[in-house]
Amino acid sequence: MSSAQLVVMAAGIGSRYGGLKQIDPIGPSGEIVLDYSVYDAIRGGFDKVVFIIRRDIEDVFREKVGSTIEKQIDTAYVFQELDRLPEGVACPSDRTKPWGTGHAVLCAADEITGPFAVINADDFYGAGSFKILGDHLHSACDADGKYDCSMVGYTLGRTLTEHGHVARGVCTTADQRLVEIVERTRIEQFENSVKYTENGEDWVEIDPNSTVSMNMWGFTPGFLEELKSGFVDFCATSLNTPKSEYFVPSVVNDLIIAGKTSPKVLMTDEQWYGVTYQADKPALKSAIAAMATAGRYPQNLWE
């Protein structure tokens, strides 16, 4: 049985949220979202966490995380930097934004030694999601020329906010396998329906029971080689395109089309919580307080 490692993408600042939300306290004893993710991951059988951060937030991130999480689990830090590019490739002089989630995971490759999960730092995924993903990763194995990829699937209606729009990867599945994932960058909850728009004007109704990805993925180390070769191609074609980014779901889609993977969709009934907007924070704090009162979490998580 393989060990499972947790890779946390924590390099971004929430522009709509208005601050460094990765270290914003939301628990009864000042816990941050990451505390709950790591706590649930440990209970789900993960034995190492790798944080992907930026150098300019290193000190405050280590101070906030190091005092708790480093005492609970093997912890590593890596940096997502603009110049972490293939040999011979230079970063455009006017580029300031990181190269996306695929690039972030590549920056962590040297710390990954076995099957691993990838999550966002600012999402509350729920204990059940870590359990089903951890169970899968402990037996994950590439076979028959296909990579053993997996994705925790959420019900769209359990991932929305009342305070604005969200971006979600909307999934087409068959026999619990991912067939396609399409990024919808603006989905909103209306009074009696859920809709998305591609142009800000024409709204299309979408089933709230649709399966969506919340960037909670499971991979074997072999996936990193595909990620690396795909990034070389990305650099050759899109590096100088303004705002271009290299995304994990896009790589997964390409591998599905190429017949190199058929990702297992691990459905969860967990309620997802996030802090896309400052107005989302009270609901998250209230939900965690209720879970602590019900005994799902200690009042002081690491005590």
**What CATH number does the domain containing 14 carry?**
3.90.550.10
Is position 128 within any domain? yes
pLDDT of res. 15: 46
**Does residue 299 belong to any structural domain of this protein?**
no
pTM: 0.94
Residue 22's pLDDT is: 63
Maximal C-alpha separation, the chain: 55
Task: Quote the pLDDT of residue 11.
Answer: 85
Q: What is the average pLDDT across 252-262?
A: 96
Give the count of domains, the chain. Answer: 1
Closest alpha carbon to 101 in 173, 187, 9, 235: 9
Is 241 within the bounds of a domain? yes
Question: Strand 123-124 to strand 46-53: parallel, antiparallel, or no bridges (unpaired)?
Answer: unpaired
Q: Closest Cα partner for 12 from 78, 57, 59?
A: 57
Q: Could you tell me if residue 95 is inside a domain?
A: yes
- The answer to whether 142 and 262 are in contact (CB under 8 A) is no
134 inside domain: yes
From residue 180, give the alpha-carbon distance in Å to each of 115, 118, 184, 264, 291. Answer: 22, 19, 13, 12, 34
Q: Is residue 278 pLDDT above 90, yes or no?
A: no
pLDDT in tens, 67-103: 889 999 999 999 999 989 998 899 998 888 889 999 9
Report if residue 301 sits inside a domain.
no
pLDDT bucket at 17, cuts 50 / 70 / 90 = very low
The per-residue pLDDT for range 184-230, each reduced to its tens digit, is 989 999 989 999 999 888 999 999 999 999 999 999 999 999 999 99
Domain extent, residue 33, equals 4-293
d(CA 34, CA 40): 10
Is 132 contained in some domain? yes
Contacts for 277 with CB less than 8 Å, ≥ 6 apart: 16, 17, 161, 163, 164
Work out the mean pLDDT of the chain and round it to a whole number. Answer: 92
Is there a domain that residue 298 lies in? no
Which two tokens mark 25?
């306290």
Q: What mean pLDDT comes out for the span 50-68?
A: 87
